[in-house]
Structure 1
């Protein structure tokens, strides 16, 4: 069965998060996803509070920009969340927007090499291994977590370019595909992931830009940069099914930045779209 989620976009103020989390949790939404976009809201801080304010909701962070975060710190934070909220945490990492990385003096000469080094180190740390590595970007000297996760803690990675997508198949447990990608684009990405060595159980999470209710098409058109859907639950469910047929295990409905009622949006996903999705 395809898992269904929704995004709490960081264009909303942090104090709005609790009401969206509680609406999602009470409606039975499976996943709520958070972003660490510069310079809006922290992915880890919002994830921790969202997990604490809910009882069954899975919370995903997609993505943590790796140039901003030392890999040992990312491992510590991820492991802590996994131990506090077992089986409810999904962490994704990625390059970060290069202009933003440049603004904070963290832009890497080779984002691809940084991500590869980071993924191998982060996954090893979360497996409880003692890691020594001397890469161009990641340096660790006998580092091991005192409190590693007690169960597997998959690490997903996201990206747009073909080299990055192929790398996610090589070095991550799953791939996050952004909302500009159509079902045909997802099929092409699946081929790249397989070329990189992605296994049959490699998790695929696909965002779907979604608008519903009054003015839905106008809101979608104002933000549309690729694949998206505007309409009622049946229209949205059909778009979700198309991505699932192309290979997505999880589809995350991404509201427009101008979504007027984010609490209603997550209830719409859980109560109206979910029953229509296989």
Structure 2
């Protein structure tokens, strides 16, 4: 079955998160995703709050920019969430927007190397291993978590280019694809992820998550057209009623997406209504 989620966009102030998270939980939406975009809101702090306010909602952070985070600290934060809220957390890491990384003095010469080293270290620490590594960017000396997760603690990674997609297949537990990724691009991404999995000898399940920029209600088309995230021509976005949005979700699922996350526009006028619409109107139309 295709999982369905929605994004709480960080253009909203943090104090609005509670209403959106509890509405999603009450309506039966499976997942709520948060972003750690510069310079809006902390992904870990927001996730902890959303998880505490809800009962069954799975909360994802997609994604945490690795240039901003020491691998040991990121693993400590992740382990705490996974222990407090088992089976309800999924964290993703990624390169981050390079201009933003430059603004804070964290831009690295080889983002791909950093992501690989961070994923390897973080996944090992979350497995309860003691890690010593002297990489180009990640350096750990006899580090182990005192409170590693007691159950599976997946670490996903965001990816766009071919090399990063192969890397996520090899080194991550799941891959996140950005909004405006058309079905044919999802198929190609899945092929590249599988190449990476084969290279890494991976046989475990690898979840593919795709964001879908969606709008409904009055002014939906106009709000989509004003979105800066629309990059492709023609864009793969959807405006309309529940059936129109569900059809786009089904197309992404048929292309290989395990989870589709509806991404509202930055100026969505009713974020609470949007998550209820996703759960109550779109979800019944998605197998």
TM-score by length of 1: 0.99
CA distance in 1, matches of 2:58, 2:196: 28
1:23 aligns with 2:49: no
Aligned to 1:117: 117
For each residue in 1:86-109, what CA deviation from the matched residue of structure 2 results, as whole angstroms up to 9, or x when unmatched? 100000000000000000000010
CA distance in 2, matches of 1:159, 1:126: 22
Superposed, which structure 2 residues align to 1:138-157 within 5 Å? 138-157=138-157
* SS class of match (2:137): coil
For each residue in 1:142-176, what CA deviation from the matched residue of structure 2 results, as whole angstroms up to 9, or x when unmatched? 10000000001010000211111111011101100
CA distance in 2, matches of 1:159, 1:193: 10
1:201 aligns with 2:205: yes
1:246 aligns with 2:260: no
CA RMSD of superposed structures (Å)? 0.8
* SS class of match (2:77): helix
- The runs of 5 or more residues in structure 1 that have no matched partner are none
CA distance in 2, matches of 1:183, 1:200: 24
For each residue in 1:169-198, what CA deviation from the matched residue of structure 2 results, as whole angstroms up to 9, or x when unmatched? 111011000012100000000111011116
- The runs of 5 or more residues in structure 2 that have no matched partner are none
For each residue in 1:40-98, what CA deviation from the matched residue of structure 2 results, as whole angstroms up to 9, or x when unmatched? 00000000000000011000000000000000000000000011011000000000000
CA change 1:20–1:77 in 2 (3 A) is: same
* SS class of match (1:20): helix
Superposed, which structure 2 residues align to 1:258-269 within 5 Å? 258-269=267-278
2:241 to 225, 232, 235: 232
CA change 1:200–1:132 in 2 (3 A) is: closer
Q: Following TM superposition, by how much is the alpha carbon of 1:199 offset from its aligned partner in structure 2, in angstroms?
A: 4.0
Q: Number of matched residues?
A: 278
Q: Following TM superposition, by how much is the alpha carbon of 1:38 offset from its aligned partner in structure 2, in angstroms?
A: 0.2
Aligned to 2:98: 98
CA distance in 2, matches of 1:122, 1:201: 18
Aligned to 1:187: 187
* SS class of match (1:208): strand
4+ long deviations beyond 3 Å: none
TM-score by length of 2: 0.96
Aligned to 1:168: 168
* SS class of match (1:187): helix
Moved more, 116-125 or 196-205: 196-205
